Amino acid sequence: GNKIRNAKLVLLGDVGTGKSSLVLRFVKGQFVEFQESTIGAAFFSQTVAVNDETIKFEIWDTAGQERYHSLAPMYYRGAAAAVIVYDMTNAASFTRAKKWVQELQAQGSPNTIMALAGNKADLVETRQVSVEEAQTYAQENGLFFMETSAKTAINVNDIFYEIAKRLTRA
Ligand code: GTP
Ligand code: MG
């Protein structure tokens, strides 16, 4: 058959890590160098076909600025999936990503599928977070991990597809 499943997905992460850019790449196939900082949150939807099912992602792209932190629970509560984004050229954003994971583990729904995205993978010369460090952290905390680039599109569809696959098994 062609079952359609709605799945609420939230992106969380520090300001400027590329959450909106990942969504823009996934939903519209576009990238802009001067993406504006998100105010509050933005909503998008996109479907992914997995075998005989269609996953319809209802995507909440949250704002990374600290002043919006208190809004986050509205978006991650009841989410089927969360993508926690850091910028692999910025160690502080990786620290912030771990804080988001802790918050989700403490306040989120226990069955939310969590993905860790090390974004800006195109900027290898200025890397501050190694693959090994992120992979180890992800394994220890039950997340799956990919390095992505909204700019080159590397692993962007793949991370959403992997989430969709896991949702069909849930
Ligand atoms: P807030 O909405 O403020 O929380 O930021 P955000 O996480 O949505 O980041 P945004 O998508 O606005 O991207 C911030 C900046 O990084 C923009 O100038 C983007 O063009 C750039 N950027 C995003 N993804 C990538 C990437 O994969 N590679 C490179 N080189 N730049 C990127
Ligand atoms: Mg944004």
Question: Per-residue pLDDT tens for 93-124?
Answer: 999 999 999 999 999 999 999 999 999 999 99
Q: Is the CB of 153 under 6 A from ligand 1?
A: no
CA nearest ligand 1 atom 10, residue: 18
CA nearest ligand 1 atom 13, residue: 18
CA nearest ligand 1 atom 26, residue: 120
Distance (Å) from CA 133 to ligand 2 centroid: 25
| HEC letters along 138-169 | HHHCCCEEEECCCCCCCCHHHHHHHHHHHHHH
ipTM value = 0.99
b/e map 134-157, b = 16+ CB within 10 Å: bbebbeeeebbbbbbbbbebbbbe
